[in-house]
Structure 1
Amino acid sequence: MSHPLTEQLIEAQLNFLDHEFAQADQIENEFLQFHQWFRKQTLQDVWSFEQIHQLIQKQILDTPASDFLIEQIAEHIRFALIHPINDTATIEDIIPVATIDKLALYVASKSGHRKALIKRVVNNPSFSSMLTQLIHHSIQDYIDNSVMNKKVPGVGRFMKMGKSVLESVTDSNLDDTVKHYLQKNIIKISQLSEQVLNHQFDDEKLYHLQANLWHKIKKVPVSVIRSYIEVNDLPKTVTLGHEIWDHLRQTDYLKQQVHDGVYAWYVRNQEHSFDLLLRDLNIDETLIQNELCQLLNPIIQKLISSQHLRQRARVHLEKFYYSNETLKILGIEKGA
């Protein structure tokens, strides 16, 4: 049951709150005061490792992406690819040449990694098979279609006769003989290939190769990317990518990685204040004063103008003023 005095007090306080929060500088001051308190709190004083891990586990690993989110990802990629600015912007406009040069020097300097990769490639059975077929076809093509064979009368006949003689002596056809030779000597050929590749891709040559490639593509418009990405297939390709993630997020492997990664981060930072943690996210005092406060102020103003703040404040003020203790202070009998 309402009472005139308590209702007047409630209305007076609601009017006071409306007036106070209607002042932009007051909102900014309150927000900064909260920030000054919050920035001094340490991570372990506010959140435990279990709370952070459970939040990530529930919101990222346990929650599948919605169909709408997948559609939005595909749409944003499509929008970026078909944007008209891609026709005028060149690759050098969006990628600094200094970074390209550093990248070229970095890649060229990794000679040990490069040699190990070349060795692994040339010693792979697939590479050996490809190399054997390539050499075999080259020899066969030379015998059947060489320039001399076509332009000099009688040479083609001589080549065929030589082939027949060789086949009669070796008691096998030329194709089998060449294949046998290549298979027998493929290890030596692979070793030679490794030497040639290491020579062609030494530090200096690889650096200049990358530099020359940059000079060829730097003036190319960004729209050339559309030549390598089928825009109309984006819903399908993005969905395929999502299927990979949807499976990965449910695996014990990723769950363990996330658990241990979050734990390692928490142990390193649990005694750090939020001031330091926010700086790691590039959020400092200047950003809060100049940006976040400006973003917050319209929200508070909307809460006030829509009466939402007043309605919510009334709920709590009524609980306070109609509590037994407050009514006793005011000298009002409950139910009067």
Structure 2
Amino acid sequence: MYTHPLLEQLIDAQLAFLDQHFTQPSHIEAEFLNFYQWFRKQRLADLWSFQELHQLLQKQLLQTPTSTHFIAQIAEHLQFFLIHPSNDKTQIQDLISVLTVDQLAQYVASKRGHRERLIKTVVNNQAFSAMLSQLIQHAIQDYLDNSMVKHVPGVSQFMKMGRSVLESVTDQDLENTIQQYLQRNILKLSQMSEHVLNQRFDDDKLYHFQAELWHKIKTKPLSVLRDYIEIQDLPKTVGLGHDIWEHMRQSEYLAQQLHDGLHTWYSRNQAHTFDALLRDLNITEDLVARELSALLNPIVQNMISSGYLRERSRMLLREFYYAESTKALLQL
């Protein structure tokens, strides 16, 4: 490789200067803060276009599969949370304010229209109708076969005779008779169910129901969650959530949502400076000066001590000094 003594001396001198300059923490902090002062004044639209941001997010969120290692880490952290020893001595009320619970209860109780539409949708569903019919049929059958027979002496023989007469007249057994009656009247039964549920869950009763529920659970430890979540199944359940996401991210629906959502956000913020955008993330100039610059300093120090910064700087300086324009300037 061709070298020139003067150029090599200039390169070494500049490298020595950079080493000395950046070994001072105050210099690193000053450079970082100067960069931040410049960056915070730039407008979003001056640095990145909507198309560039959309292309990046589309590639990283929708076109790139989530790594199996990341999925395993999620399951690991959830397991760590559930088995943490502090869960045994931390109560639910230690983490959730009673004022928040009360506000939530008032909000839910006040949504009468939403609640009535939900009840109407549920009770008019075929699955609910079938369940209600089976429940009533079993209740009647149980009452006839057990309750009346046990509590009314001598009624057993009478019930058997009555059943026999009914079945001979209708040409079918009692169970089918009850079932057909329920099927013919299921609409009326559903309407009655809707009326009863709306009465049972009116604003006042629903609010007090939530209050009573809170008083029952507030002193329970967080470890009670282990009664409802199988820790050993977390890899499987987290994996199922991942499968749902994998299917969603490839859908046209999510692609359209990402495009339109980002476009709305960009349109509102493209004229804003990064200072305003960073403040939405609680990143202020004071945070940068006190915390982020302190985190950056060890990185730069390691780059210097490992020789990485010196070697990269040498490469760039050699390209500069051995360029024909620079040699001509130095008359070499």
Q: Which residue of 1 aligns with 2:244?
A: 244
Q: Which residue of 1 aligns with 2:23?
A: 22
Taking only the aligned residue pairs, the percentage that are identical comes to: 63
Distance (Å, rounded) in 2 between the aligned partners of 1:263 and 1:169: 72
Counterpart code for 1:215: H
SS of residue matched to 1:144:
helix
**Which structure 1 residue ranges, 5 or more long, are not aligned?**
none
SS of residue matched to 1:289:
helix
SS of residue matched to 2:45:
helix
Q: Which residue of 2 aligns with 1:189?
A: 189
Once the 2 structures are TM-superposed, how far is the Cα of residue 102 of structure 1 from its aligned partner?
A: 1.2
Once the 2 structures are TM-superposed, how far is the Cα of residue 323 of structure 1 from its aligned partner?
A: 2.3
Counterpart code for 1:18: D
Distance (Å, rounded) in 1 between the aligned partners of 2:152 and 2:31: 96
CA-to-aligned-CA distance 1:210-269 (integer Å, 9 cap, x gap)? 111111111111111111111111122222221221122112221122122212211111
Q: Which residue of 1 aligns with 2:120?
A: 119
Distance (Å, rounded) in 1 between the aligned partners of 2:268 and 2:231: 44
Q: Does 1:130 align with 2:120?
A: no
Q: Which residue of 1 aligns with 2:295?
A: 295
Q: Which residue of 1 aligns with 2:68?
A: 67
Once the 2 structures are TM-superposed, how far is the Cα of residue 152 of structure 1 from its aligned partner?
A: 4.2
Counterpart code for 1:234: L
CA-to-aligned-CA distance 1:281-325 (integer Å, 9 cap, x gap)? 221112111111111111111111111111111111122222233
Distance (Å, rounded) in 2 between the aligned partners of 1:171 and 1:71: 63
Q: What does 1:92-103 align with in structure 2 at a 5 Å threshold?
A: 92-103=93-104
Inter-CA distance 151–261: structure 2 relative to 1 (3 Å threshold): closer
Q: Which residue of 2 aligns with 1:307?
A: 307
Distance (Å, rounded) in 2 between the aligned partners of 1:281 and 1:212: 38
Distance (Å, rounded) in 1 between the aligned partners of 2:48 and 2:241: 33
Counterpart code for 2:180: H
Q: Which residue of 2 aligns with 1:89?
A: 90
TM-score, with normalisation over the residues of structure 1?
0.94
Q: Which residue of 1 aligns with 2:223?
A: 223
Counterpart code for 1:77: L
CA-to-aligned-CA distance 1:90-131 (integer Å, 9 cap, x gap)? 111222222111111111111000001111111112211211
Distance (Å, rounded) in 2 between the aligned partners of 1:170 and 1:252: 57
RMSD of aligned alpha carbons = 1.6
Inter-CA distance 276–247: structure 2 relative to 1 (3 Å threshold): same
Distance (Å, rounded) in 1 between the aligned partners of 2:322 and 2:287: 43
SS of residue matched to 1:193:
helix
Paired positions, count: 331
Distance (Å, rounded) in 1 between the aligned partners of 2:323 and 2:85: 65
Distance (Å, rounded) in 1 between the aligned partners of 2:207 and 2:18: 67
Counterpart code for 2:278: L
Inter-CA distance 70–306: structure 2 relative to 1 (3 Å threshold): same
Distance (Å, rounded) in 1 between the aligned partners of 2:152 and 2:236: 57
Q: Which residue of 2 aligns with 1:56?
A: 57
SS of residue matched to 2:185:
helix
SS of residue matched to 2:90:
coil
The farther-off stretch of 204-213 and 73-82 is 73-82
